Structure 1
Amino acid sequence: MAKCNEHYRYCIVESYYPESTAGLHGPVHIRPVPGEDFPAHLRVECSKDLMNPKIYPVGTRFRLRVKLTDREGGGEFLYSYFGWPVEVVE
């Protein structure tokens, strides 16, 4: 369920290996980098290509357009439409 007053904005995120993958899909995930407008513990739902180490090495940083949202019965996360352009940050 989307949060009504949240707007899309740009955020730098990175791919990483979580300490535990219990309840998660796949070994690589995306999170905001420290110092961004969002806490680094939030997960990011985005294009699965960004989590593919054959395309982007783990630790690659990206600039995405994201929105804070939540799921009924679950916690908050950031959402970025999978079809939007992605900028790799050096």
Structure 2
Amino acid sequence: MGAGGRRDPSEYTSIICEVFYDASRRKNGVRPVVGQPFPNDMKVECAKAIRALPLGTQIKLSVVETEKEGSRPFLYSSYKWAYDIIK
């Protein structure tokens, strides 16, 4: 990781994700669709606006795998970045 916690842009991967209802958190979440380079059960931390899209909406995001101490790995995409709605 670079200075100030910033990552090199080459560390990010562009994948297709979907909005789903996360029963464990009782709110919408985002996860990779089946067939992407990450497991479908990984969660994506991203903009609230993306999580507010209708369930099943597919979005193309740039993500990086990360983890916080004491938690399982997850994918991160900055809330500031643009995203593309696929369907």
Matched with 2:11 is 7
Matched with 1:82 is 79
Instruction: Report the TM-score when normalising by structure 1.
Output: 0.81
State percent identity of aligned pairs: 36
Q: Distance in 1 between matches of 2:22 and 2:48?
A: 16
Q: Which has the bigger relative contact order, CA under 8 A and spacing at least 6?
A: 1
Runs of 4+ in 1 over 3 A off after TM superposition: none
Matched with 2:34 is 34
The Cα shift of 1:7 comes to 1.1
Structure 1 stretches lacking a partner, 5+ long? none
Q: Across the two proteins, how many residue pairs are aligned to each other? A: 81
Q: How well do the aligned residues superpose, as a CA RMSD in angstroms? A: 2.0
Between Structure 1 and Structure 2, the one with more helix by share is 2
Q: Distance in 1 between matches of 2:11 and 2:48?
A: 22
Structure 2 stretches lacking a partner, 5+ long? none
